[in-house]
Amino acid sequence: MAKEIFSKFIQLLGNNKGRTIGAIIGFIVSILILTIGFLKTLFIVICTGLGYFFGKKLDNQEDLKEFLNKIFPPGKTN
């Protein structure tokens, strides 16, 4: 009986991955806001987003130096 319930639960989670991930992230963020405050939580979310973004660039074997040069062009030396 328990295996059957667990199996249906796993199947439900698998069919609704976006909702499941969204609910878990929302729960974690709400716990963080309640325990450490809004600004510290915002800092953690921004750092996590930047880490994900740069990690994705590395996974796709994109040139990180070229990307950073687009954002922060090298200065001219006189």
- Average pLDDT score over the chain: 86
The closest of 48, 19, 17 to 32, measured between CA atoms, is: 48
pLDDT score recorded for residue 17: 82
Distance, CA of 10 to CA of 17 (rounded, Å): 10
Give me the residues of the chain with pLDDT under 70, please: 76-78
Q: What predicted TM-score, i.e. pTM, was given to this entire model?
A: 0.64
